[in-house]
Amino acid sequence: MTVVSGWGVLPACLAALALAAGCSREDGFGEVDPPQTFIETYQVVLEDAPEGDIADVAEDALEVYLRQDDGANSRSFLVQRARGDLETLRRLLRSRGYYEGDATVEITPEAAEAVILTFRLAPGPLYTLAAHRLTLTGRDDAAIQAPGDAAPALDLAQLGSPVGEPALAEPIVAAEDRAVARLRRAGFAYARFRSRDAVADTEAKTIEVTSVIEPGLRYRVGAISFSGVTSVEEAYLRSYVETEPGAVFDGSKLRATQQRLRGTGLFNVVRIARPAEPPSDGVLPLTITVEERLPRTVAAGIRYDTTEGPEVFGRLTHRNLLGENETGTIEATLGQELIEFDAELRKPQFLRDRQVLVARVVARNEDREAFDGPTSIISLGLERSLTPFWTVGLGGAVEFSRITDNRGTKESSFLGVPAFVAYDSTDDLLDPRRGERLRLTATPYTGPSDGMSVSFLMLDIAASTYVPLTRDRNYVLALRGRLGSVQGVAFEDIPANYRVYAGGGESVRGYGRDLIGPIDAFNSPTGGLAVMEVGAELRAEFLPDIGGVLFIEAGSVTQDDTPDFRNGVQVALGLGLRYYSPVGPVRFDVGFPIEARDVDDPFQFYVSIGQAF
């Protein structure tokens, strides 16, 4: 047996595991040559590397790779550079479990032209981690610690240490980090890793590791104070704090508090600090320091597509109207087919944690191929976050409209009760590259329309998923689907603005807006009572900030209240260009309808900010 401390070298001359190399090695060089002519280019060859990522990591770590484009002042300089990389290669072998591993290098030819550096690895046997023990050490003040404040027992194997498997450094260190994190979640706020010792059996080719962690005292939270708050009510901010004075310290709750405060949109910086030195009384005061953002934001944008033409919008947002993160947003949209004013007020933490009161007023006038006329909406509702991914909502709305289509004009006054369930695990709002989205909406309506009482239920479910095809997520497969239905009303009795439609830049690209499904004698879309949409898009960011997409989308609209694919599904193909700007991807898409009708254009072109879905 040989005792080693840390991740030491196993000298070839001793055939045993040790902390540092204790004897010289043959490296393929004699005396260092005197300076010669400048070497503009050289090649690097890595031979006999074992399976795994050693070759890839070497390219990112060795100086001979990192400085390859610089060349070398002379053969002597290159020799010194290569010699300096030998110990890096030996450490790399040890980190992958090859504790007897060695490396040599030679340079050929002797002349300065066409120089080749050849590293030869001798990995030796792969060692197995036979045991990984944890020793807790440090302060143990019985006068302070209560009987229940002893550090919990931890099993490093259960925390991911590769016991019984190759003794790789990364998972061993990761298990130690998890042990420290587990202690900090259990109240030991100053727990820290101290040291690591190892015993190697060079005959059995195994290693046993003992890690030493100092847990310190188990703390309870003391006073919680805020710093840097100027315009936000402190009582409101405390509603986001996940712990309270007297509770056992839990580092994960501090991180959750930090994330929630950042999520309010009120601050540029949120820091939670504890005393630099461990308090001796077992009580841990906390200071939350914030740097407030400017409360107002102004935004403007433009979108364009072939059917609807240009459309511009402007938005003014105030995130702290009354001192408790009340967010007011006013948005105006001006286009050839839509003029809209939208005002919304959101009050978070309304009556209970994670609940938002939402009030909204919308006034719009639409001039679409399917219909035209004004609509006004006043709504009030509650939204509640159940988990970081799941949100539910329920509200009430009063809607007034005067809509004209080819069947005539209908004046309607409806009372609606919109409800929704939403799931979102994506990594980005405008450019998702992994995760899923799901939204189910159900809204019953009732009220007079064109002199008669009408009641109906609108159902809509939309889902999408984003699958990264490469580790860097530069290539993504995006899939989506939508089903919608209007239940309980005849097609002739429902106003045209409450029917379902498909087609356009946010639906099936390649077809004009609303032009999926039936059209009347005037070549105007009629809409329907049921809709289906599916789409697939391959996204690629092949240059910094530049990318492209290929997509296929299909849709169907029927005048029955269930999708009926016998009437045909309309399909479109297309491609697009993406510029990944600081505010989100700017997209340029062109779609082509398959089996276009006389009413369909040969193609549709779209420009906007954000991915299509």
Going by C-beta distance under 8 Å and a sequence separation of 6 or more, which residues neighbour residue 9?
18, 19, 20, 21, 22, 90, 94
Q: Does the structure show a pLDDT above 90 at 541?
A: yes
The residue with tokens 């906390």 is 286
Q: Does the structure show a pLDDT above 70 at 424?
A: yes
Phi, psi of 55 (to 5 degrees): -65, -40
CA-atom Rg of the chain in angstroms: 33
Q: In the Cβ-directed half-sphere of 228, how many Cα atoms lie within 13 Å? A: 14
| pLDDT score at 148 | 62
pLDDT digits (tens, 9 = 90+) for 311-320: 999 999 999 9
| pLDDT score at 111 | 53
Mean pLDDT of the chain: 89
Which DSSP string do the residues of 107-130 spell out, in sequence order? EE-SSSTTEEEEEEEE--PPPEEE
Return the closest-CA partner of residue 511 out of 549, 553, 560, 463: 553
Going by C-beta distance under 8 Å and a sequence separation of 6 or more, which residues neighbour residue 441?
418, 419, 420, 458, 459, 460, 461
Return the closest-CA partner of residue 525 out of 559, 553, 552: 559
- CA atoms of 425 and 449, how far apart (whole Å): 40
**Contact, 203 vs 218, CB < 8 A?**
no
Phi, psi of 85 (to 5 degrees): -85, -10
pLDDT digits (tens, 9 = 90+) for 338-362: 999 999 999 999 999 999 999 999 9
pLDDT digits (tens, 9 = 90+) for 84-125: 999 999 999 988 989 899 999 988 875 556 788 899 999 999
Q: Encode burial over 163-182: b for 16+ CB neighbours within 10 A, e otherwise.
A: beeebbbebbbebbebbbeb
| Cα first-last separation, the chain | 61
Going by C-beta distance under 8 Å and a sequence separation of 6 or more, which residues neighbour residue 107?
28, 29, 75, 78, 79, 82, 115, 116, 117, 118
Please compute the mean of the pLDDT values over residues 334-338 and round it to a whole number.
Answer: 93
pLDDT digits (tens, 9 = 90+) for 7-61: 433 333 323 333 233 333 344 444 444 445 788 888 899 998 888 888 889 988 8
**Contact, 472 vs 437, CB < 8 A?**
no
- CA atoms of 282 and 249, how far apart (whole Å): 10
**Contact, 546 vs 580, CB < 8 A?**
yes
- CA atoms of 316 and 311, how far apart (whole Å): 17
Q: Please report the sign of the dihedral spanned by the C-alpha atoms of residue 63, residue 68, residue 74, residue 78.
A: positive
pTM confidence score: 0.76
Return the closest-CA partner of residue 308 out of 277, 338, 353: 338
Tally Cβ neighbours within 10 Å of residue 275: 13
| pLDDT score at 455 | 97
Per cent of the chain over pLDDT 70 is: 92
**Contact, 83 vs 105, CB < 8 A?**
yes
pLDDT digits (tens, 9 = 90+) for 220-234: 999 999 999 999 999
Phi, psi of 93 (to 5 degrees): -60, -45
Pair of tokens at residue 598: 């006389």
Pair of tokens at residue 277: 């030195």
In DSSP terms, 133 is beta-bridged to 210
CA 508 to chain centre: 26
Q: Cα torsion at 352, 356, 359, 363 (round to 10°)?
A: -170
**For the chain, how many residues are written?**
613
**Contact, 57 vs 93, CB < 8 A?**
no
Q: Cα torsion at 554, 557, 558, 562 (round to 10°)?
A: 80
pLDDT digits (tens, 9 = 90+) for 301-334: 999 988 888 999 999 999 999 999 999 999 999 9
Q: Does the structure show a pLDDT above 70 at 143?
A: no
